Amino acid sequence: MFELMIHLENDSKKPLYEQIYTYIRENIADGKISYGEKLPSTRFLSKYLQVSRSTVELAYEQLLSEGYIESEPCRGYFVSDISKLYHIHIERENKEKEYSIRKKQQQSYKIVFSPNQNEMQYFPYNAWRKLSKEILAENNPDLFLAGEAAGEIELREAICNYIYHARGVNCIPDQIIVGAGNEYLLILLAQVLGSGRSVAIENPTYLQAYRTLQSMEYTMLAVGSDENGLSIEEIRVAKPDIIYTMPSRQFPMGMVMPMKRRLELLHWAAEKEDRYIIEDDHDSEFRYKGKPIPSLQGSDRNGKVIYMGTFSKSIGASIRVSYMVLPEHLLEVYYQKCGFYASTVPKEQQKMLAAFMNQGYFERYLNKMRGIYKGKHDIFLALLKKEAWVHKIYGDYAGMHVLVEVNSKMSAEEIVEEAKKQGVRIYALEEFMISDKKKPVMKYPTLVLGYGALSEAKMREGIAVIENVLQKEDSI
Check if CATH label 3.40.1280.10 holds for domain 125-360. no
What's the full length of the chain, in residues? 476
The whole model's pTM is what? Answer: 0.77
Domains 16-83 and 111-121+365-475 share a fold: no
For each of the chain's 476 residues, which pLDDT tens digit applies?
566 778 888 888 889 999 999 998 888 888 888 888 999 999 898 888 889 999 999 999 998 888 888 988 888 899 888 766 655 555 555 555 566 655 555 558 999 999 988 899 999 999 999 999 988 887 777 777 778 999 999 999 999 999 999 999 999 999 999 999 999 999 999 999 999 999 999 999 999 999 999 999 999 999 988 888 898 999 999 999 999 999 999 999 988 899 999 999 999 999 999 999 999 997 788 888 877 788 999 999 999 999 999 998 888 877 889 999 999 999 999 999 999 998 899 998 999 999 999 999 999 999 999 999 999 999 999 999 999 999 999 988 889 999 999 999 999 999 999 999 999 999 999 999 997 656 666 789 999 999 999 999 999 999 999 999 998 765 55
Strands 176-179 and 198-202: unpaired
The Cα-based distances of 267 to 13, 193, 203, 315 in angstroms read 75, 20, 22, 35
Distance of CA 281 to the CA centre of its chain: 17
Q: Report the C-alpha gap between 211 and 434 in whole angstroms.
A: 9
Cα 301 → chain centroid: 33
Residue of 231, 170, 159, 166 whose CA lies nearest to 200: 231
Nearest-angstrom CA–CA distance, 58 and 40 = 14
Topology of domain 111-121+365-475, CATH: Aspartate Aminotransferase, domain 1 (3.90.1150)
How would CATH label the architecture of 16-83?
Answer: Orthogonal Bundle (1.10)
Contacts of 274 (CB under 8 A, 6+ apart): 241
Q: Which residues of 58-69 are buried (b: 16+ CB within 10 A; e: fewer)?
A: bbbebbeeeebb
CB 187 within 8 A of CB 212: yes
Nearest to 319 by CA among 358, 278, 348, 341: 348
Per domain, the residue ranges of the chain are: 16-83, 111-121+365-475, 125-360
Please name every residue paired with 52 in a beta bridge, in sequence order, or none if there are none: none
